[in-house]
Structure 1
Amino acid sequence: MVEPQRLQKIMARWGVASRRQAEAMIVAGRVRLNGKVVAELGTKADPQRDRIELDGKPLARASSNFSIAPPQLRYILLHKPAGAISTCSDPKGRQTVLDLLPEAWRSQTRFFPVGRLDAASTGALLLTNDGDFTLKLTHPRYHLPKTYRVEVEGHPSETVLQQWREGVALEDGRTLPARVHKERIKPHRHCTILTVVLQEGRNRQIRRVAAQLGFPVRSLHRQAIGSLQLGQLKPGQFRLLQKAEIHMIKYEQLRT
């Protein structure tokens, strides 16, 4: 017999939702265990024996002679193209990052973007059906560095860049220190190319900081997540991570 586990952990392991999303589903009364609405987040279940339902649809059926295995976990590095939305679905019918994956994969399990890039931004984005992995990499406690190539209007001085490095006060609090430097290319008379390495991932953070400092972003491209480089992937292309890369990302996340 499998050791009973918390429902939100089972749902995350099965790729139904991240653990935080699963907890919200339970609180909203959307989850039933053996026909009864789950009332407590600490409720445990055995997916081999118990019937778990989300919105009336079963996630696992009780069976005495059939071992229910979780779906194959996949970890994907995607080059997000401009215009794609970093969500699982979009009420306006716009293309999402999940639409770029094979239909066969999406029909078998549910994937989640790990963090976000806004619609106009491009570059490295992780997708996975591992809810625990998603939760850990997006939790505010961890600060996995992410590297961006940013084109801003005008020519910020070293003094302005130092302000950015030390942290800038935004409406949701002061940003953490960041690494910011100009790329060594011939400057354009109307813009500057910067490399920015962030230790946090607030909504539209780079765009907000740059605008507040007086140098709005013209384009933003994420080059790397931790030591995981986008490499030669073209916009819209993706690849599965190798085992060594998955272990590397998990190790880097634990070190932060």
Structure 2
Amino acid sequence: MPTNPKQSEDRPEGDRIAKLLARAGVASRREIERMIADGRITLNDKPVETPATFLTTLEGVSVDGKPVAGPEPTQLYAFHKPTGLITAERDASGRATIYSALVNAMPKDAPRVMPIGRLDLNTEGLLLLTNDGGLKRQMELPANGIPRTYRARAFGDVTQEQLEALIEGVEIDGVRYGSIDANLERASGSGKNQWIEMTITEGKNREVRRVLEYLGLKVNRLIRTAYGPFRLGDLPRGRVARIRKGDLDRFRSSLKRDRK
């Protein structure tokens, strides 16, 4: 005798609205939950009250009064983030966010996009943007080991030998950082700024700054120059460029092969 004969009948059909909206490129699931709490998402002109709203389609769903279409083809953009911008949609302290710059930088026909990973307030350089929540999660996952390359200008003394030792990883204040490929671009002599290139694969919070500070250096400029195969190149500060579909497709195929 079944203990819960109505279990299959009572189980909601479809997916949570946050999952569908993330897949459609509206925002991350966490951000969508905040948008629901703020009353910005409606279903058939009525505010959605809970993220635990199950739907089979996005028909009738609007965000900020604008209807949401179904999932669009995956797109990826490179943005040269300037310093002084928060990587978030909004900031409780009223600081400028990347979306302040993206209003004029993104193509007029571009979909809503989300940042892949973050760059802190004082870090500049390559920030990838996508309309695909699945791709965002896949690229941020530390287990996928996607390399991120930075150029750091730091004041103080360091040797190439010290930097090469980072290939074995390092533990700082109880936090273990994995293998880091670091090289002096050029030595400027004792007590002067050094340019150092570092490639990491975990992307832990403030990882590059903390590791260099651990070596006795003071970082005064930090630029991300690459994320996976995608490079900043000569993209002007504050500008956006769409990644070509062929390049994106090849990258996604390599991710699938690596995970087998």
Q: Report the TM range for the smaller structure's normalisation.
A: 0.7 to 0.9
CA contact (8 A) 1:88 1:113 kept: no
Residue in 2 aligned with 1:63? none
- TM-score between the two structures when normalised by the length of structure 2: 0.76
Residue in 2 aligned with 1:87? 88
Distance 1:223 1:108, change over 3 A: closer
1:27-83 CA-to-partner distances (Å, cap 9, x unmatched) read: 97988878785575xx7422166x55789x7866xxxxxxx5335643210111121
Larger mean Cα displacement after TM superposition, 161-170 or 98-107: 98-107
The structural deviation recorded for 1:116 is 1.0
One-letter code aligned to 1:97: I
Residue in 2 aligned with 1:178? 180
- TM-score between the two structures when normalised by the length of structure 1: 0.77
CA contact (8 A) 1:18 1:132 kept: no
Distance 1:86 1:106, change over 3 A: farther
Residue in 1 aligned with 2:55? 45
What runs of 5+ residues in structure 1 fail to find an aligned partner? 61-67
Write the distance in 1 (CA, Å) between the matches of 2:253 and 2:231.
Answer: 16
One-letter code aligned to 2:75: R
What runs of 5+ residues in structure 2 fail to find an aligned partner? 1-12
1:91-127 CA-to-partner distances (Å, cap 9, x unmatched) read: 3333222222245868985321111111111111101
Residue in 1 aligned with 2:21? 11
1:147-168 CA-to-partner distances (Å, cap 9, x unmatched) read: 1111222221244223322212
| Secondary structure in 2 matching 1:141 | helix
Matches within 5 A, 1:90-239: 90-102=91-103, 110-171=112-173, 173-183=175-185, 185=186, 187-189=188-190, 190-239=192-241
Write the distance in 2 (CA, Å) between the matches of 1:58 and 1:81.
Answer: 29
One-letter code aligned to 1:170: I
CA contact (8 A) 1:14 1:71 kept: yes
Distance 1:19 1:90, change over 3 A: closer
The number of aligned residues is 241
Write the distance in 1 (CA, Å) between the matches of 2:58 and 2:204.
Answer: 39
Residue in 2 aligned with 1:64? none
CA contact (8 A) 2:18 2:51 kept: no
Write the distance in 1 (CA, Å) between the matches of 2:222 and 2:51.
Answer: 44
Residue in 1 aligned with 2:248? 246
Give % identity. Answer: 30
The structural deviation recorded for 1:225 is 0.9
Write the distance in 2 (CA, Å) between the matches of 1:233 and 1:53.
Answer: 34
